[in-house]
Amino acid sequence: MKIAFIGPESSGKTTLSEILAHKYVAELIPEYSRIYLDQIQTNYVFEDLEFIAKGHFNSIINSKENKLVIIDTDLISMQVWSEYKYRKCCDFIKDNILTQQIDIYFLCKPDFPWMEDNLRENPNDRDELFDFFIQVLNEYKIDYKIVEGTLTNRTQFCESYINEYLNNEKS
């Protein structure tokens, strides 16, 4: 089972991914763009996004079968960011969104204060980006759950939904 956390910057994706991966002893796939950007140590350009997307996609499709996998962002996040920042998106991202085979999407709402970080770059348009995520998810007809509120509320909501899904899989 694959679970992806998506949403605007500073909306709790990494925190929730790490908490839930630890709780469920799940495989955690970190946000590949952070790994890549830490390595290049310079500003990225549009062409870097396809390389980042391929790296992240390979991590997702090569994850262990029959194991719970928690994914910190996915190709939907890549499409949203690419179209928002550059007004275009490479074919690789669009062509592979549905092949990731994500079972549950949690869309994190940016309903708490922005947390500065050396890789984040857009503190002012998080609500606009959140709406853009909804638009893209709906275009692909992908079911998703909105995660909002305090960290405790978010964690409990996700645990409840994951537990229900796991119980239904066993039946």
* Domain boundaries defined on the chain: 2-170
Residue-wise pLDDT tens digits, 8-19: 988 999 999 999
Other CB atoms within a 10 A radius of the CB of residue 140 amount to 12
- Are the beta carbons of 72 and 29 closer than 8 angstroms? yes
Residue-wise pLDDT tens digits, 68-103: 999 999 999 999 999 998 999 999 999 999 999 999
28-42, 65-79, 123-137, 139-153: the lowest-pLDDT one = 28-42
| Dihedral class, residue 63 (left if φ above 0, else alpha if ψ from -120 to 50, else beta) | beta
Q: What is the pLDDT of residue 116?
A: 65
Other CB atoms within a 10 A radius of the CB of residue 101 amount to 10
Share of the chain above pLDDT 70, in %: 89
CA distances from 142 to 42, 87, 116, 134 (A): 34, 22, 30, 10
Q: What is the pLDDT of residue 140?
A: 96
> Is residue 50 over pLDDT 60?
yes
Q: What is the pLDDT of residue 126?
A: 87
Tell me the mean pLDDT in the region 59-71: 86
- Are the beta carbons of 5 and 60 closer than 8 angstroms? no
> Is residue 120 over pLDDT 60?
no
> Is residue 123 over pLDDT 70?
no
> Is residue 42 over pLDDT 70?
no
What kind of fold does domain 2-170 have according to CATH? Rossmann fold (3.40.50)
pTM of the model as a whole: 0.90
d(CA 33, CA 151): 24
Tell me the mean pLDDT in the region 119-123: 62
Number of helices (H), then strands (E), belonging to the chain: the values are 7, 5
d(CA 135, CA 76): 11
Q: What is the pLDDT of residue 31?
A: 86
